[in-house]
Amino acid sequence: MTNALLAKYSGAVPRYTSYPTAPHFHDGVDCGKYAQWLGELGEGQDISLYLHIPYCDRLCWFCACHTKHTLKYEPIAAYLVSLYREIETVGALVGKGAKVSAVHFGGGSPTLLNPDDLVEVMARLRSAFDFGDDIEISVEMDPNDLDEPRYDALAAIGMTRASLGVQDFDPKVQETINRIQTFRQTAGVVEAVRKRGVHSVNCDILYGLPYQTVETLEKTVRDIVSLDPDRIALFGYAHVPWMKKHQQMIPVEALPDVDARYQQMSSAAEMLLQAGYQAIGIDHFAKPDDALAVAEREGRLRRNFQGYTDDAASALIGLGASSIGFLPQGYVQNMPATGEYQRMAMRDGLTIVRGIELSEDDRLRAYVIERVMCDFGFAFAPLREAFPQLADTVIKEARIFAAGNDDGICLVDRDGFRLTDAGKPFVRTVAAAFDSYLGNGKGRHSIAV
């Protein structure tokens, strides 16, 4: 990879975990519209639930999630009361016949909840929603929070997938990002959850962190592979201090440049491939028999706010402060400010403050961008079948983009548009070529590599 290509295609663009992206949500979509959309869900539709716990007992400087620091449990207990109110309200509005197929606990640190509250949250969900069979229940875990009672509670709620944020095991990197977590701690979590029947373990690794080098990252990758996780996410650190003020604690001069980031990413990815993992999109890896790898091979890979997924549900209902949901009609987002979320939830049961209703052009471009992000291209025939009136507009754009590109990053023929191996590292930049909102000046983004 030449420095010229990196410089040309590594500009700041969205991560495309949605389309349209969150900066384009607006207050024209409110609680009333959301209630209407929930009621239009119905028989034969699967829904996923995402619950956001916006608290941590330590604040990691690298984190861009919506969370706040607390060393007391009282704020968490008060938050849960409002969360239960939202769960009850939303569950009552969902049309009859829609069934829950997956639940994801995110944060923040969901494992900060005490054991009784973990069990209570799941009981409230089962009471409010109609659960299908064979539910996938995934939980983001902080090894520093965990103990035997919490492990037992996670087993009691039926957790099927554990997701561990590792980032990097190097002590200097950990100290700089305020994330002290030993290999022994992490290995203990993997052992404990597998002992309790969890069938899938995911580990997150970050590249592009302060003081990180190819050598230190390679050691972390070796350590992670030794734990034999089913999935590994290899994310690039997004330095967005204008959005997350605590990232100002990270010394900018210690961050690797674009070329160093690319070398780190390439080296780590090659090690994971050599270890037998299958590459999934731009930043996920999975064992060949894992459901995510199977979905990728069968062309069923999807992308949402948790990244790449095999979740085929037609709706994702977000619960908790700042949560984003997706329904067939469009996107919605809850009030981000935790205190105001609690007031809204206790008053009205719903806390939507913004969103976007999808136009047919939005649906077309969402389809194209998701296929580019998941499959590194898209075929023309299914696009024309799904969008007979609009498909040729995007196909023309694809032909123009390919014709104007002399770097060999993409190809187009009569059947479709695809990225070459040289272009795959820049897939976010290519996806941005089909984003009709990007040029209007809303939103700032992290670099693409």
Lowest mean pLDDT among 184-188, 291-295, 305-309, 341-345: 305-309
Residue 12: inside a domain? no
Lowest mean pLDDT among 49-53, 185-189, 256-260: 256-260
Residue 446: inside a domain? no
pLDDT at 442 over 80: no
Q: Are residues 392 and 327 in the same domain?
A: no
**CA 185, 189, 195, 196 torsion-angle sign:** positive
> In the listed set 335, 357, 379, which residue is the last one of a domain according to the structure?
357
Q: Are residues 377 and 325 in the same domain?
A: no
- 336 touches 312 (CB < 8 A): no
pLDDT, mean of residues 36-42: 97
Q: Residue 245's pLDDT band (boundaries 50, 70, 90)?
A: confident
Domain that holds residue 298: 21-357
pLDDT, mean of residues 199-213: 95
Domain count, the chain: 2
Look at residue 121 in the predicted model and tell me its pLDDT: 98
Q: Are residues 300 and 416 in the same domain?
A: no
Q: Are residues 330 and 415 in the same domain?
A: no
Q: Residue 445's pLDDT band (boundaries 50, 70, 90)?
A: very low
322-347: pLDDT as tens digits:
999 999 999 999 999 999 999 999 99
| Number of other residues whose CB lies within 10 A of the CB of residue 154 | 27
pLDDT at 94 over 80: yes
Q: Are residues 292 and 325 in the same domain?
A: yes
pLDDT at 231 over 90: yes
Comparing CA positions, the residue from 326, 264, 415, 250 lying closest to residue 21 is: 326
Q: Are residues 367 and 349 in the same domain?
A: no
CATH number at residue 419: 1.10.10.920
Phi, psi of 8, rounded to the nearest 5 degrees: -75, -35
Comparing CA positions, the residue from 171, 256, 290, 260 lying closest to residue 220 is: 171
Rounded-to-10 torsion of CA 273, 277, 280, 284: -90
pLDDT, mean of residues 56-68: 83
> In the listed set 299, 329, 357, which residue is the last one of a domain according to the structure?
357
Look at residue 36 in the predicted model and tell me its pLDDT: 98
pLDDT at 410 over 90: yes
Q: Residue 2's pLDDT band (boundaries 50, 70, 90)?
A: low
Q: Are residues 210 and 260 in the same domain?
A: yes
- 219 touches 282 (CB < 8 A): no
372-386: pLDDT as tens digits:
999 999 999 999 999
Q: Are residues 366 and 349 in the same domain?
A: no
pLDDT at 444 over 50: no
pTM of the model: 0.92
Mean pLDDT of the chain: 93
Residue 447: inside a domain? no
Residue 4: inside a domain? no
Lowest mean pLDDT among 67-81, 407-421, 435-449: 435-449
- 370 touches 390 (CB < 8 A): no
CATH number at residue 185: 3.80.30.20
pLDDT at 364 over 90: yes
d(CA 236, CA 64): 12
